[in-house]
Structure 1
């Protein structure tokens, strides 16, 4: 891969361009370590996509975590559970990623990530051509039915520096993720963000 320096807006514009080449419903996943700002990047896609005439549904994986009794079964600091058991992949596929295609609607949230209680959200209608923008972490190639995967990449050393001491237990999950999923090889778009103000597209 070669790195092509871009501005932060240029990185967003590149992803928007990729989305607009596809007709019909498009499901986009923005994945990365929490410090990369996946939610901010996903939010930044919304305005340009709407300006281009595409309806947008904005969803966060953190609102589709499994019930606490399931994801914390092995304790609150189990890195394997963080990687394998936290995101309710079945619910996200059923209520969002497949529903928006098959039924023309999606559920914007399922559970409050802090309380674990149902958000009681209602379905949102999705007109033809809707783009669902989903952000998450440790989410690429985990069985989610998405059409475009975007990975905000960090070097391992940067990842370590940007992980708070209380969350250091999570580093084992990110290491396993790099080895097993190889997100920089598997994502459709990779943006290197070790220096957020000076990102770079990694091009094959």
Structure 2
């Protein structure tokens, strides 16, 4: 059972993150000051420091909330029988979210966190990895999964950030469509093909099927996945 103190802390935390998110959306990154957020949330400034440590901690919480909302939309997408088309849908959803929430998207994607991605960002990459793996399992992935994931992530995020930075009256959404199709052409084939000859091709094919096996322990599966990724990348 939650104590009154815990419930109050959670309530304050939610109000503060909500206030910071609203200030970010309405007035931009510079408006999210400790003084402005405390006033908007109706709390004292020390409360922010106690709950978040510092301003960066608050911004991390705002970004995590943004990722959570975006992940909810992604998880709600229904899969089709065509994993490549599903990748297109995910790319388009990412663009729509970015253009609808420009300041939040920029905070989420254009400000690297010390120590690596946040848990929410890592979960988002996991969803992308799952999409790429489905393409690999269908025999339609042209390159190894790790490089395909990096390419889609970099190109999709970079294109969206570039469009966010462009004035709306000069914004050409077809740029995103062209980038999307260029990436898809680079990483996929039009139809299932036999694995490329040699160990790299065999590694890509086996790596895609690895999650479906249940004869290995988690540690063995992780080690084999790492080895297969190295073989595929070397090819």
Larger RCO, structure (CA 8 Å, separation 6 or more)? 1
Structure whose residues are more often strand by fraction: 1
Larger radius of gyration: 2
Q: Please confirm whether the aligned pair reaches a TM-score higher than 0.5, indicating the same fold.
A: no
Structure whose residues are more often helix by fraction: 2
